[in-house]
Structure 1
């Protein structure tokens, strides 16, 4: 039975002599095995702790020698074993959770001295140098010949780059790296992302530049990435649209969508309140969504999109007279902020409520509205703006919605008055 983790041995007697512990942990290998006493020809179970400085290790008797186990944070890979003799606390951290649980169970059995024959005991010998090295945090693989086919990725990785390896899919071994904060899979041939990427709860940066992606999974937008993902690079792919729930990735700070085939941006992109850098150059955008006006950016790049000329007279009418009962009810639910969910109303209605439109008058509209586009200077939402076209323009059309014919007429009257000034 072996366990690799960080270990700090704390002597409980030092404070009585006015001394302090160093308070520094080191990488170690812990082993439970039998030690034979040659003088008495008897054997007993011992715990061996080997570090890089002391690969031969220090032995501690286990039978009837454990005072207490502290396991409050075992799910975080942390635990403490308190020995009676010598009076020390063995503090364990940065351990694999399942391995730590198995190790503590074996230590309990060794302490009781019962059922020890069933324990997977280890040889109490010096540790190998590679076993006591500091865990690897960063790994870059930049060619296919260097890509591991049989060996696993180091479990402790926080940054992983696998580029120019012609990967056609995401290797499932990467998705077991629970400490991963940055995953760079740029310059490959990946067509689809597995929804299990959303299980990487620490993932803050996901770089998928220059692949063959045709879609971004809706499941990723409702995963743990909602609270962890800050940087997302989807540039140079084959994306035509992003899912409606994309804007639930509300911790995004940097979003790159350049060189795709996007015909529109997510309707509620304005809900990305932490977004500061947005680039969506060289796509097929003809108009920006209404929520775009709610963004507060530092840098914006929309160069090379075929934006249409905004004209308030050109509009789409989807009003019904009179309004349907469902439309009236939906508007009331949104305007009065009445809680709703799939347990109260049908799932389709929930989608409609979640993606309602806002009129200039402050009221909402769901399926019945008038839509037009108005020109907006992009400096209103961003400190720095890359020119929209070669003519030096910084304006782009933005959608506008009206809940009634009266609101639309008031808007047109204001436009006419402005033109007359």
Structure 2
């Protein structure tokens, strides 16, 4: 039985001399196995601790030799085994919690002299250097010839960059790296993202710059990435739109969408309350969503988009008189915040409610409204703004919705009084 962890061996006598251990373990491989005692010609069960400096290891007899186990923090991968002879504490840390529990159970059985034949005892031999080296947390692969085909990625990786390798899909071996915090797959040929990326429960940075992506799936937006993803780089791809559910990624702080084919930003972009950096230059945006006004950014770049020149008198009339019963009922559901779902109402009605529009009067409209666009100075939502065009402007059109003709008329009157074109 073997356990990879950090180990510190501390003498009981240190406190007697007013001293204490360093409190910092070294990477080690700890084994439990049988060893022949040359003096008595009997085999006993020992614990052996091997480190990079001492790969032959130190052996500690276990039978009737464990004074106490300290397991208060075993769920965190920490435990201490106190031996009688020699008088030392073997402090274990940074271990897998389940493996540590099995290891301690085996040590306890050996101490009591129980039947150890059922235990997977190890041969107590010197270890290889790779067994006791520090776990690899960062890996960068920058060419196809360096890409591992037969070997696995180290399971301890927290940062992985695979660039310029001509990948056409995400390697499923990457999706088993549960400790991964940053995944950089920039400068490849990836066309589609697997939904299982959402199973990387620690992932806070995802870089997909310069690939062939044509879509960002709803499944990713509804995965554990909702709680972890802070940096997302989708720049220089082939995206034309993002799903409504995209704004469920509410931990986003840094979002890059430059050099795509986006014709619109997500409808509920204002729900990204933690977003501070937004880059969407060189797309096909003609107008910004109404929700854009709710953002509070530090840096914004919308340069190179074909924004229209808004005129409040130019509008889209999508009203009927009287309103259909379905529209009235949908507005009531939205305004009263009545719970709904596909198990209660048809799925297409759920999708309509997801993109409910807010009128200037505070009322909700669903499929029947008047739509126009007004000019907004982007400094209202961002401290720093990259010029929108080569003329030095920082204004952009933002959509506005009105639930009735009277609301639109009132808006026009107020606009004329303020001298807004």
* Structure 2 residues not aligned, in runs of 5+: none
Give 3-state SS (helix, strand or coil) of 2:419's partner: helix
- Within 5 A, what are the aligned runs for 1:127-138? 127-138=127-138
Please list the CA deviations of residues 36-63 of structure 1 after superposition, one character each: whole Å capped at 9, or x if unmatched. Answer: 1112211111111112233332222233
Distance 1:71 1:128 in 2: 32
Displacement, 1:11?
A: 4.6
Q: Quick check: 1:205 aligned with 2:205?
A: yes
Distance 1:306 1:33 in 2: 72
Structure 1 pair 404–92 and aligned structure 2 pair: CA distance change class (3 A): farther
Distance 1:59 1:158 in 2: 33
Deviates more, 1:178-187 or 1:117-126: 117-126
2:266 equivalent in structure 1: 266
Structure 1 pair 330–420 and aligned structure 2 pair: CA distance change class (3 A): closer
Distance 2:265 2:47 in 1: 59
Distance 1:402 1:64 in 2: 82
Displacement, 1:338?
A: 4.0
Deviates more, 1:260-269 or 1:304-313: 304-313
1:224 equivalent in structure 2: 224
1:70 equivalent in structure 2: 71
Deviates more, 1:126-135 or 1:235-244: 126-135
State whether residues 186 and 210 of structure 1, in contact with CA within 8 Å, keep that contact through their aligned partners in structure 2. Answer: yes
Distance 1:208 1:65 in 2: 55
Distance 1:356 1:134 in 2: 53
Structure 1 pair 90–326 and aligned structure 2 pair: CA distance change class (3 A): farther
Please list the CA deviations of residues 148-167 of structure 1 after superposition, one character each: whole Å capped at 9, or x if unmatched. Answer: 11111122222111111111
Please list the CA deviations of residues 127-171 of structure 1 after superposition, one character each: whole Å capped at 9, or x if unmatched. Answer: 323322222221111111111111111222221111111111111
Deviates more, 1:367-376 or 1:350-359: 350-359
State whether residues 209 and 234 of structure 1, in contact with CA within 8 Å, keep that contact through their aligned partners in structure 2. Answer: yes
2:91 equivalent in structure 1: 91
1:79 equivalent in structure 2: 78
- Within 5 A, what are the aligned runs for 1:14-413? 14-15=14-15, 18-66=18-66, 67-68=68-69, 70=71, 73-74=74-75, 76=76, 78-86=77-85, 88-97=88-97, 99-341=99-341, 345-413=345-413
Distance 2:345 2:97 in 1: 41
Structure 1 pair 97–420 and aligned structure 2 pair: CA distance change class (3 A): closer
* Structure 1 residues not aligned, in runs of 5+: none
Distance 2:5 2:148 in 1: 24
Please list the CA deviations of residues 335-367 of structure 1 after superposition, one character each: whole Å capped at 9, or x if unmatched. Answer: 334444556555444443333211111122222
Displacement, 1:399?
A: 0.8
Distance 2:65 2:336 in 1: 65
Distance 1:90 1:231 in 2: 41
Displacement, 1:177?
A: 1.6
State whether residues 153 and 174 of structure 1, in contact with CA within 8 Å, keep that contact through their aligned partners in structure 2. Answer: yes
State the aligned residue count: 419
Structure 1 pair 8–337 and aligned structure 2 pair: CA distance change class (3 A): farther
Distance 1:302 1:420 in 2: 23
Give 3-state SS (helix, strand or coil) of 1:246's partner: helix
Displacement, 1:214?
A: 0.9
State whether residues 79 and 92 of structure 1, in contact with CA within 8 Å, keep that contact through their aligned partners in structure 2. Answer: yes
State whether residues 80 and 89 of structure 1, in contact with CA within 8 Å, keep that contact through their aligned partners in structure 2. Answer: no
Displacement, 1:281?
A: 1.1
Structure 1 pair 179–311 and aligned structure 2 pair: CA distance change class (3 A): same
- Normalised to the residue count of structure 2, the TM-score between the two structures is 0.91
Give 3-state SS (helix, strand or coil) of 1:180's partner: coil
- Normalised to the residue count of structure 1, the TM-score between the two structures is 0.91
The Cα RMSD (Å) is 2.4
Give 3-state SS (helix, strand or coil) of 1:117's partner: coil
State whether residues 80 and 89 of structure 2, in contact with CA within 8 Å, keep that contact through their aligned partners in structure 1. Answer: yes
Please list the CA deviations of residues 63-101 of structure 1 after superposition, one character each: whole Å capped at 9, or x if unmatched. Answer: 354533627543x5x031433524554333333455445
Give 3-state SS (helix, strand or coil) of 1:118's partner: coil
